[in-house]
Amino acid sequence: MWQLEPTDQYERDLKWYLKKRPGELAAVLNNLQRYLNQLNAAPNSKAIMAGYLHPEQSGVIAVDQKGGGGNLQETRLYTFADDENKVLHLITIGNKDTQHDDVQQSSGFVKALKSGNA
């Protein structure tokens, strides 16, 4: 079974989205649960493809708000799947305006994780 490992940044973003964008947060968390269910059923994380998942640089996968209803702001939860340890790292949550910085931050997190500095 895969385990979730949230970062401090994810925890801060979660609180913000809970207060300011609860609909977007609910949609993203619903898709996160779908992704987690797929991870538990698949041989590895690379075997999973879905319309709400977006590959980013450094192996980061963004989980979006698709399927959560109309009029939701585009929102993404950035994750990294560690197949060896069956840990899904929850890195940050952001919107289209913060996407570039979120991808850069997430890539930096993965690089630090792989080098043992995270």
pLDDT of residue 69: 84
- Mean pLDDT, consecutive 10-residue segments, the chain of 118 residues? 97 98 97 98 95 96 92 96 97 96 97 85
Instruction: Tell me which architecture the domain covering 3-112 has in CATH.
Output: 2-Layer Sandwich (3.30)
The count of other CB atoms within 10 Å of the CB of residue 36 is: 18
The count of other CB atoms within 10 Å of the CB of residue 61 is: 21
CA distances from 101 to 12, 95, 108 (A): 16, 10, 10
pLDDT of residue 29: 98
* Residues 54, 40, 4, 13, CA torsion sign: positive
pLDDT of residue 65: 96
pLDDT of residue 88: 98
What is the value of pTM for the model shown?
0.95
Report d(CA 34, CA 29) in Å as an integer: 9
What DSSP assignment string belongs to 95-116? EGGGHHHHHHHHHHHHHHHHHT
Domain borders along the chain are 3-112
pLDDT of residue 110: 97
Token pair listed for 70: 């109309």
pLDDT of residue 118: 64
